[in-house]
Structure 1
Amino acid sequence: MAGDTNKKKLVGRHKRVAFMDVAGDGKTFTRMTGFTSMSDSKNSTEYSRQYVDEASERSDVVGYAPSMDYEFDRYTNDAVHAKLAEITDDEILGSDAQVTVVVVDLFDATAEDADTCTARKRDWSVIPDSEGDGTDALIYKGSLKAAGEIVKGTATTTDKWQTCTFAAE
């Protein structure tokens, strides 16, 4: 049926993209390209108990320890790669090894407003794992671990999602 707006569509992984604040000013976020892996783990904390008058256990989620594992092929003239490589190569510590990332759901865009989408912003600590793996490209691996609360809002672009700005709800 033409025009069926209720039809389910599979969401491609390429429709959830990440942007990093490489300048550190919180204004413009640069798209994170060249990543071969970027998986988000919630690492939920549970409170489980069994009441004496019930046959089964109950569980509630009482917290999260989010992390994002990453792997990228290092490219020159890429500000995101340069920032993560600097933190890794120079063994930068503490709050100097933190970045702000906005994750944008491009599949949430409407035809009328394809330049604005649902987004979530968070500060992350960069936890480097390794660099130099592989023989074809210089590969960096590590994790981003939550260093602040998630902020839901919208991301807007003026350059076809090469960069974006973020506005909290």
Structure 2
Amino acid sequence: MSGADTKKKLVGRHKRVAFMDVAGDGKTYTRMTGFTSMSESKNASEYSRHYVDEESERTDVVGYAPSNDYEFDRYTNDPVQQKIAEVTDDELLGSDAQVSIVVVDLFDIKADTPNTCVARQRDWSVVPDNSGDGTDALIYKGSLKANGEKIKGTATTTDNWQTCTFVAD
């Protein structure tokens, strides 16, 4: 390994991208574009206790309730935004308000395969907050809340990361 390979580099936010299974068939995931915010909160569950023979309390993480707060400027002819807008505008419930998303780390390329990166897939419930905010664009806001286990794997593209496929490890 050369010295250039070991140099630390700052990872830009644009190097972690999300893709949604708009068709719901688990085959092709479409890039989520036009989002002005997509931040994940882990919402860790803790188990804390203080043992009588120790000075300090101990804390263990015993679970997670992940959520992604989102905000996007609504564009026409965008299938991802159309899906979230449909959940919001039509007030869909249950499995009709669920989506499958793959998050791809474009900075974590699999060796010798430039079109394959480390990825994580999970099902999410779309929990709308509001729409119509702003005067320049129609803005939708809400949260995606975990509705299943995270599955680690790889994502591969054939169209420069406009779409991808996912394979679990």
TM-score range, shorter chain: over 0.9
The yes-or-no answer on 1:149 pairing with 2:168 is no
Q: CA deviation at 1:112?
A: 3.3
What is the CA–CA distance in structure 2 between the aligned matches of 1:36 and 1:168, rounded to whole Å? Answer: 29
What is the CA–CA distance in structure 2 between the aligned matches of 1:26 and 1:110, rounded to whole Å? Answer: 22
Q: CA deviation at 1:113?
A: 1.7
For residue 25 of structure 1, give the secondary structure of its aligned residue in structure 2.
coil
| 1:66 corresponds to | 66
Q: Map of 1:124-139 to 2, 5 A cutoff?
A: 124-139=124-139
Segments of structure 1 that go 5 or more residues without pairing to the other structure are none
| 1:23 corresponds to | 23
For normalisation by structure 1, the TM-score amounts to 0.97
For normalisation by structure 2, the TM-score amounts to 0.97
What is the CA–CA distance in structure 2 between the aligned matches of 1:64 and 1:70, rounded to whole Å? Answer: 19
For residue 9 of structure 1, give the secondary structure of its aligned residue in structure 2.
coil
What is the CA–CA distance in structure 2 between the aligned matches of 1:82 and 1:110, rounded to whole Å? Answer: 32
Q: CA deviation at 1:18?
A: 0.1
For residue 55 of structure 2, give the secondary structure of its aligned residue in structure 1.
coil
Q: Map of 1:36-51 to 2, 5 A cutoff?
A: 36-51=36-51
Q: CA deviation at 1:114?
A: 1.6
Q: What is the number of residues matched between the two proteins?
A: 168
What is the CA–CA distance in structure 1 between the aligned matches of 2:114 and 2:20, rounded to whole Å? Answer: 20
Q: CA deviation at 1:111?
A: 7.4
The yes-or-no answer on 1:112 pairing with 2:118 is no
**For each residue in 1:53-74, what CA deviation from the matched residue of structure 2 results, as whole angstroms up to 9, or x when unmatched?**
1100100000000000000000
Q: Which amino acid aligns with 2:152?
A: K
Sequence identity, in percent? 78
What is the CA–CA distance in structure 1 between the aligned matches of 2:47 and 2:86, rounded to whole Å? Answer: 39
What is the CA–CA distance in structure 1 between the aligned matches of 2:86 and 2:167, rounded to whole Å? Answer: 28
| 2:158 corresponds to | 158
What is the CA–CA distance in structure 2 between the aligned matches of 1:76 and 1:59, rounded to whole Å? Answer: 48
Equivalent residues of 2:28, 2:164 under 8 A apart: yes
**For each residue in 1:31-85, what CA deviation from the matched residue of structure 2 results, as whole angstroms up to 9, or x when unmatched?**
0000000000000000000111110010000000000000000000000010000
Spell out structure 1 runs of 4+ moving beyond 6 A: none
**For each residue in 1:69-123, what CA deviation from the matched residue of structure 2 results, as whole angstroms up to 9, or x when unmatched?**
0000000000001000000000000111000000000000157322000000000
Q: Which amino acid aligns with 1:7?
A: K
What value does the CA root-mean-square deviation take over the aligned residues? 1.1
What is the CA–CA distance in structure 2 between the aligned matches of 1:129 and 1:21, rounded to whole Å? Answer: 22
For residue 80 of structure 2, give the secondary structure of its aligned residue in structure 1.
helix
Q: Which amino acid aligns with 1:128?
A: P
Equivalent residues of 2:115, 2:156 under 8 A apart: yes
Q: Which amino acid aligns with 1:119?
A: A
